[in-house]
Amino acid sequence: MAGKFTLLAVWTLALVNAECKHGSKFPSDFLLGASTAAYQIEGGWNADGKGQSMWDWYLHQQPDLVSDHTNGDVAADSYHLYKQDVALLKEMGAKSYRFSLSWTRILPNGTADYINPYGIIYYNNLINELLANDIVPFVTIYHWDLPIGFSNQGGWLTDEIVDKYADYARVVFAAFGDRVKHWITVNEPNIHCTFAYGYGLQPPLVKSPATGYYDCGRNLLLAHAKAYHIYNKEFRVLQRGKIGITVDHDWPMAASDSIDDIDATEDYQAFHLGQYLDPIFRGDYPHRMVDRVAAASLRQGYNSSRLRSFTEEQKDFIKGTTDFVGINHYSSNYVYRNASVVGMYEVPSFDDDAGYATFTNPSWPESASPSMAAYAPGFYDLLLYIKEAYGNPELYITENGFSETLSEDLYDDLKVDYLRTYLDALLDAKAAGSNVQGYFFWSLLDTFEWTFGYEIRFGLHQVDIDDPARPRTPRKSALVYKEIIRSGVIDYNYNPDPYLRTKVKINCTYNNICNK
- Among residues 224, 238, 409, which one has the least CA distance to residue 320? 224
Q: How far apart are CA 375 and CA 365, in angstroms?
A: 8
Q: Which helix (H) or strand (E) holds 251?
A: strand 251-254
Contacts of 147 (CB under 8 A, 6+ apart): 51, 52, 53, 54, 103, 104, 107, 109, 110
Distances (CA, A) of 370 to 271, 374, 456: 20, 12, 10
Q: How far apart are CA 225 and CA 278, in angstroms?
A: 13
Q: Which of 19, 91, 160, 188 is catalytic?
A: 188
313 noted as active-site residue: no
CB 156 within 8 A of CB 183: no
Alpha helices in 184-309 (DSSP H): 189-193, 212-230, 236-239, 259-269, 275-281, 287-299
Helical axes 161-176 vs 212-230, angle rounded to 10° = 40
The radius of gyration of the chain's CA atoms, rounded to the nearest angstrom, is 22
Q: How far apart are CA 12 and CA 108, in angstroms?
A: 48
Phi and psi torsions of 323, nearest 5° = -95, -20
- Supply the DSSP string of 299-357, one letter for each residue: HTT-SS-SSPPPPHHHHHHHTT--SEEEEE---EEEEE-SGGGTTSS-SSSHHHHH--E
Q: How far apart are CA 1 and CA 254, in angstroms?
A: 11
Q: How far apart are CA 359 and CA 403, in angstroms?
A: 19
The DSSP bridge partners found for residue 187 are 246
394 noted as active-site residue: no
Distances (CA, A) of 129 to 86, 136, 183: 7, 10, 18
Distance of CA 181 to the CA centre of its chain: 19
User: Which of helix, strand or coil describes residue 140?
Assistant: strand
- Among residues 469, 474, 475, which one has the least CA distance to residue 508? 469
Q: Which of 42, 129, 399, 449 is catalytic?
A: 399
Name the residues annotated as catalytic.
188, 399
